[in-house]
Structure 1
């Protein structure tokens, strides 16, 4: 029997009871209990591989069934890249103060589940070659779009994008390391060709309205929504550079897709030998953006190493429209910081932004200056601990995704409700 925290296992607590049936060695019963007084919607459940019965030979695809015979989309994810599954993952609805029982078995071929998450990443190797889809990439300090001898944008949408049925995001892998937002108008996944022309060349075609939506957020020299920076003493430092720089302050940047499935997509970003501008220090930073369905948000997990003791992790949200001041809410063991104004191109639409961070790591917030290499942003200050991951949520709710988000009170209620969902642990028993 064991129990894990919400943060360590995607908000789920697990109790494993080893009473596997001899007649059905590959079948297990899962009982999920919601102890909270709120209903949970698309709540993430992650079950470690060690808690599962041995998989039958040749059958490595999970099949989750309700007592009525309905299928719940699930995936077995290889999180460490060793070729074998590490974690069963699915999302589920649970009424308040209730429980549900599911039957888990294993099959050789995955059912055709509706895709509710995806990662899109492509790169070209020269200015004249078409973009090809990739699962990983490594770039070096002298390989910025404006570096001598380089001189072109190699990445589709400036870097990887990830989305669910509510919202999309993208990461500027070209040295800027900010995180932008795609507003969605449909629940289906946006086309794989976003950011490409008919010949497969990089093209900025996502700042125009399409049926699926568009890039709506204005980032400037902030780090976007959920991007990271660092405070050393009282000074703010950008992880990476700006669009006009020719040499990165990160020696090597790596990207790889960890998993991409119908109900969870996850990627890893690594920054090796980051030397903040004007210092002689060197750090390693790792990020793991993860998204699952049903929320206008993604989760990010950040790990720092090379710390000397006077550092603070900064998690940002852009503030190019200063109309709305920052609001701070405390919900259980979490803190939410939010704004509701026109953080969009030409201030055309309302966009609610929020960060949901763990209270045990929260040290208050600060504001970046109005101009400079790191500017026009609010930052949640989080305790920086050597090689200890910290997870938080970044939220973006566009008024054209749901007209209810035009109302600041409605957006605030949504953030509070999402924070309550984040704070709720589900108990899972396996038999």
Structure 2
């Protein structure tokens, strides 16, 4: 009887050991050090590890907890498990999943509608902050068109604080809003492009926050149908930002009545200077610009990356650098825009900004490989 008990005990131990070996394998196919938020479909994840929504994730080698988020994409049910990881060049990372509550973490991303400032919609992560302008600003003398960038040098989330203090055009140690948008596309917005001319849309009319941290914030801005150059055009922009990234991901769904494709441009505001520091790389599909320093505020880097669509670089516009493309009705057009500030002391030169943009584009083209074993 003792031998039977002993055999059963060994069998149970082996079974539990096999169960405990279920692992997330993440492989880096590039020569880059990468810190990213990876996404795993929740259905596959829950089935593989036998968990519901209460679990923790640990680095298998160090035993340290890894931050994760349950992404719902505006739904009631969980769609994806998001995990922030650091991984060395050409390396493999192993993560284990445990049936224990995850530690509470401080959010690194955030977005909100700002009715107290003319319907702004603002968002940020631990590195950068942006905003789009709303309906209440239209028609005012201070109306602007494109995307605004707030220069941060703190990892704290500042949107609520800066709006409450209403003094964000001065740097009190956390950064400031000195970026000028005006009648341009600013830090990477888009406009329609008929007859070789930019046609700005009205500002957004509705918004929907899909997820709001701690690792990824995503939201949708909805624009009402509008007659532009004799064509009734409607569009939505779904924007997401991940912790630790200088870039947003922007997905545009556009529909124009009476035509299958609509010409548009994405752009970056130019400044008045004789020798601008910018580069368009047709092979990498990137455009970056390193602004001059005005009033000792610092240097701003702005960039665009269009991974798939056919694009044409337009440099002769007096107000902005443009990338032109044509978008099919109801077909997602995806691009990325990013920003950096030299006084944040992470990216401090035009060369460093160009390198960062190139590395970011490579990371999108060669995503981390994820397997559940």
TM-score by length of 1: 0.73
**Structure 1 equivalent of residue 186 of structure 2:** 224
Q: Any residues of structure 2 matched to 1:203-222 within 5 Å, and which?
A: 204-222=166-184
**Structure 2 equivalent of residue 234 of structure 1:** 196
Q: 1:271 to 1:178 in 2, by over 3 A?
A: same
In the alignment, which of 127, 144, 151 is matched to residue 166 of structure 1? 127
Q: 1:365 to 1:113 in 2, by over 3 A?
A: same
Q: Any residues of structure 2 matched to 1:35-114 within 5 Å, and which?
A: 35-40=29-34, 42-54=35-47, 59-67=52-60, 68-79=62-73, 81-105=74-98, 107=100, 110-114=102-106
In the alignment, which of 321, 333, 336 is matched to residue 286 of structure 2? 336
For 1:77 and 1:328, how far apart are their aligned partners in 2? Answer: 34
Pair 1:314 & 2:270 matched: no
Task: Name the stretch that deviates more: 416-425 or 47-56.
Answer: 47-56
Q: 1:39 to 1:210 in 2, by over 3 A?
A: same
**Structure 2 equivalent of residue 379 of structure 1:** 322
In the alignment, which of 324, 348, 358 is matched to residue 416 of structure 1? 358
Shift of 1:410: 2.1
**Structure 2 equivalent of residue 3 of structure 1:** none
Shift of 1:422: 2.2
Q: 1:183 to 1:64 in 2, by over 3 A?
A: same
Shift of 1:330: 4.6
For 1:237 and 1:339, how far apart are their aligned partners in 2? Answer: 23
Bigger-Rg structure (1/2): 2
**Structure 2 equivalent of residue 355 of structure 1:** 304
In the alignment, which of 261, 264, 276 is matched to residue 216 of structure 2? 264
Pair 1:285 & 2:229 matched: no
Q: CA RMSD in A?
A: 2.9
Q: 1:302 to 1:177 in 2, by over 3 A?
A: farther
User: In proportion to residue count, which structure has more helix?
Assistant: 2
For 1:304 and 1:165, how far apart are their aligned partners in 2? Answer: 31
Shift of 1:226: 1.8
**Structure 1 equivalent of residue 111 of structure 2:** 119
SS at 1:384's partner residue?
A: strand
SS at 2:205's partner residue?
A: strand
- Cα deviation per residue 1:281-323 (whole Å; 9 max; x = unaligned)? 1112111111112222222111111261452221111113344
**Structure 1 equivalent of residue 26 of structure 2:** 32
For 2:226 and 2:18, how far apart are their aligned partners in 1? Answer: 52
For 1:233 and 1:62, how far apart are their aligned partners in 2? Answer: 55
Q: 1:115 to 1:281 in 2, by over 3 A?
A: same
- Cα deviation per residue 1:64-94 (whole Å; 9 max; x = unaligned)? 1111321111111111x33111111122111
Does structure 1 retain, via aligned residues, the 8 Å contact 2:280–2:313? no
SS at 2:168's partner residue?
A: coil
Shift of 1:280: 2.9
Does structure 2 retain, via aligned residues, the 8 Å contact 1:268–1:287? yes
TM-score by length of 2: 0.84
For 2:156 and 2:191, how far apart are their aligned partners in 1? Answer: 33
Does structure 1 retain, via aligned residues, the 8 Å contact 2:22–2:49? no
Pair 1:253 & 2:218 matched: no
For 2:46 and 2:346, how far apart are their aligned partners in 1? Answer: 46
Q: 1:390 to 1:347 in 2, by over 3 A?
A: farther
- Cα deviation per residue 1:105-135 (whole Å; 9 max; x = unaligned)? 455x552223221113332xxxxxxx5xxxx
SS at 2:285's partner residue?
A: strand
In the alignment, which of 133, 151, 157 is matched to residue 189 of structure 1? 157
SS at 2:305's partner residue?
A: strand
Pair 1:299 & 2:299 matched: no
